[in-house]
């Protein structure tokens, strides 16, 4: 299972089905299909980065060609398994579609596929990041994918399955590799630290699991980085926090408490300490959003030990405080944090933006955010809740709302409504987008146009950048995302054809008119024809 490499992600890369974690059902399905000689012509593995797509592909390739039984695969030296694992087997070709996207690369691969394997049972093509192939390259693959020779297998891997044509997807046996569960990943990393004889606290491993977001490769890389950074071969939770620039949820909980107290000086002081510890403003806002989510939804979250986002202390504290906070305030904070995230790349110093954001939150909060405050005031009894200052906070809230409403009115006024292809062509003319206007008039056969959804029939004459350019312009003009899709339906005639047909119809009708017949009597040699203006 291990190699000479000291990098954990390579050293502990799974070599057989039993080594895989988090995908046992998929491994069993493929294993059974191979031992029953009913494996697919093409496999497709999808999922996030570092989840095991390429690893799965190599294990399947080895299982198909291994000289020994699958139960003993790689336990003995095999003339196929070792070369496949090292990516140098003569009959197993690995190709990175990110660097070889053209149709010529695929044609070369198809030409190579015509010859049977030299030494193995199957000739196998592993194509990583297959979504990067061009449209022409996919089309060249279709026939071979549907009816490949008995000795040929395709194994595809991708992080963006939506970019693969449906015609290719329908010819593959697809397997979606989900994120590895936190508990499984924790046990996996714990066993590796034991094998490597590295002293790592469980809480430090849990932090690595959280930061990896279910990616095994990311988890191993983070573990490698953390243990190498600690020369004494011992890694505590505090060490891991410093290495990764991670801030405890308790720090954000405390920040929210200070915001509801309305202490402006204290909130800035506390944030600057977090910033000096190494946290980036963008990461701070994302983590702040996460804590807001927990406050709003803590009653629906169970802390059963397999959720490493919250420790027991934070869970209890959030549960207690959330009962005292008005949910409307949390929703307002959520909306304002999202707005700040969108603006963070505009300013030269994001750190100053976050400081102003925290000050604004103090003014955004309503005076009576605690659910029991009104009752306490009515009864005129001292409250046990957090004392809320800044009693004039209603005024800035209303000012912010008014400014936001005015901005929305101006934005809506400037936005353009487009309800038909004719209106779209007219706007292109007004905006002097003559290239788009030409394509819309000459090469677009409309199937449907409604609700920011444009469906057109496939036309090879369309400029290859038409969809991209039109989508960008539509967003600029309407401030909405439009869906532009191709259809196999024939679609309506183009605008140019419509105009041509209308002229033709008018000529035919005029030919039959009494006016034209009277002209013929007077001038028998006259002929009626259409004239067209030729562009330069």
Distance CA 298, CA 302 (A): 8
372 burial (CB, 10 Å; 0-12 / 13-18 / 19+) is middle
Q: Is the pLDDT of residue 249 over 90?
A: no
Average pLDDT over residues 512-522: 76
End-to-end CA distance of the chain: 69
pLDDT number for residue 280: 85
pLDDT in tens, 415-463: 788 888 889 999 999 888 888 888 888 888 888 888 788 888 877 788 8
Topology (CATH) of 421-487:
GMP Synthetase; Chain A, domain 3 (3.30.300)
* Mean per-residue pLDDT over the chain, rounded: 81
Task: Give the CA angle between residues 285, 286, 288 to the nearest 5°.
Answer: 60
Q: Read off the pLDDT of each residue in 320-343 and give the average, rounded to a whole number.
A: 86
Has domain 182-244 been given CATH number 1.10.8.60? yes
| Range from 9-13, 295-299, 367-371, 458-462 carrying the lowest mean pLDDT | 367-371
pLDDT of residue 532: 60
Mean pLDDT value of segment 174-201: 91
SS (H, E, C) 30-94: HHHHHHCCCCCCEEEEECCCCCCHHHHHHHHHHHHHCCCCHHHCCCCCCCCHHHHHCCCCCCEEE
d(CA 213, CA 180): 8
Q: Is 127 helix (H, G, I), strand (E, B) or coil?
A: strand
- pLDDT, position 218: 92
- Name the pLDDT band for 232 (thresholds 50, 70, 90): low
Rounded to the nearest 10°, the torsion over CA 499, 505, 508, 509 is -120
**pLDDT score for 2:** 45
User: What does the pLDDT read at residue 403?
Assistant: 47
Domain ranges (residues) in the chain = 8-176, 182-244, 249-411, 421-487, 495-536
d(CA 425, CA 69) in angstroms, rounded, equals 65
Distances (CA, A) of 283 to 53, 81, 98, 126, 221: 28, 43, 29, 36, 20
- pLDDT confidence bin for 268, thresholds 50/70/90: very high
Please give the full DSSP string across 158-208, using - where no structure is assigned: ES-GGGS-HHHHTTSEEEE-PPPPHHHHHHHHHHHHHHTT-EE-HHHHHHH
| Phi and psi, residue 327, nearest 5° | -60, -30
Pick from 301-305, 400-404, 489-493: least confident: 400-404
- Is the predicted pLDDT of residue 157 greater than 90, yes or no? yes
* Per-residue exposure over 129-148, b if at least 16 CB sit within 10 Å of its own CB, e if not: bbbbbeeebbebbeebbeeb
Rg (Cα) of the chain, in Å, rounded? 32
Res. 518: pLDDT tops 70: yes
* Residue 74, pLDDT above cutoff 70: no
What CATH number does the domain located at 249-411 have?
1.20.272.10
Please state, for a pLDDT cut of 90, what percent of the chain lies above it: 18
Predicted pLDDT at 384: 42
Beta carbons within 8 Å of 290's beta carbon, 6+ residues apart:
249, 309
**Residues 502-507, mean pLDDT to the nearest whole number:** 76
Supply the CATH classification number for the domain 8-176: 3.40.50.300
User: Does 281 have pLDDT greater than 70?
Assistant: yes
């Amino acid at each position: 299972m291990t190699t000479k490499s000291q990098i954990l992600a390579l050293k502990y890369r799974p070599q057989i089905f039993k080594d895989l974690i988090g995908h046992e059902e998929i491994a069993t399905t493929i294993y059974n299909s191979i031992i029953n000689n009913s494996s697919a012509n093409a496999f497709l593995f999808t999922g996030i980065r570092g989840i095991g797509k390429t690893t799965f592909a190599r294990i399947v390739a080895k299982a198909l060609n291994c000289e020994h039984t699958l139960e003993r695969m790689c336990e003995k030296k095999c003339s196929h398994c070792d070369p496949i694992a090292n990516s140098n087997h003569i009959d197993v070709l690995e190709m990175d579609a990110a660097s070889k996207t053209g149709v010529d690369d695929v044609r070369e691969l198809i030409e190579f596929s015509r010859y049977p394997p030299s030494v193995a049972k199957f000739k196998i093509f592993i194509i990583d990041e297959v979504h990067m192939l061009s449209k022409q390259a996919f089309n060249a693959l279709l026939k071979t994918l549907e009816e490949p020779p008995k000795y040929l297998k395709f194994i595809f891997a991708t992080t963006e399955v939506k970019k693969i044509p449906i015609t290719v997807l329908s010819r593959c046996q697809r397997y979606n590799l989900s994120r590895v569960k936190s508990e499984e990943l924790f046990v996996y990393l714990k066993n590796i630290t034991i094998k490597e004889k590295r002293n790592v606290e469980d809480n430090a491993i849990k932090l690595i699991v959280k930061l990896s977001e279910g990616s095994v490769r990311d988890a191993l890389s983070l573990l490698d980085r953390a243990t190498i950074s600690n020369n004494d071969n011992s890694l505590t939770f505090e060490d891991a926090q410093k290495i990764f620039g991670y801030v405890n949820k308790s720090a954000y909980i405390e920040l929210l408490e200070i915001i509801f107290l309305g202490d402006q000086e204290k909130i800035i002081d506390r944030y600057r300490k977090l910033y000096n510890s190494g946290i980036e403003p963008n990461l701070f806002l994302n983590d702040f959003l996460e804590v807001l989510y927990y406050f709003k939804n803590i009653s629906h979250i169970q802390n059963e030990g397999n959720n490493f986002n919250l420790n027991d202390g934070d869970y209890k504290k959030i549960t207690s405080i959330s009962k005292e906070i008005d949910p409307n305030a949390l929703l307002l904070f959520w909306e304002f944090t999202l707005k700040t995230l969108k603006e963070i790349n505009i300013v030269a110093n994001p750190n100053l933006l976050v400081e102003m954001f925290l000050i604004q939150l103090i003014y955004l909060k309503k005076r009576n955010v605690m659910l029991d405050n009104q009752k306490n005031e009515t009864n005129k009894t001292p409250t046990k809740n957090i004392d809320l200052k800044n009693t004039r906070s209603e005024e800035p809230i209303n000012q912010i709302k008014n400014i936001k409403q005015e901005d929305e009115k101006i934005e809506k006024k400037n936005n353009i409504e487009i309800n038909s292809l004719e209106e779209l062509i007219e706007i292109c003319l007004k905006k002097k987008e003559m290239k788009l206007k030409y394509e819309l008039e000459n090469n677009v056969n409309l199937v449907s146009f409604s609700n920011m959804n444009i469906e057109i029939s496939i036309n090879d004459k369309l400029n290859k950048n038409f969809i991209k350019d039109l989508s960008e312009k539509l967003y600029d003009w309407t401030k909405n995302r439009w869906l532009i899709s191709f259809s196999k339906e024939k679609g309506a005639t183009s605008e140019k054809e419509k105009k041509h047909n209308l002229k033709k119809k008018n000529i035919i009708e005029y030919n039959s008119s009494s006016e034209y017949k009277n002209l013929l009597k007077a001038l028998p040699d006259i002929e009626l024809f259409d004239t067209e203006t030729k562009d330069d």
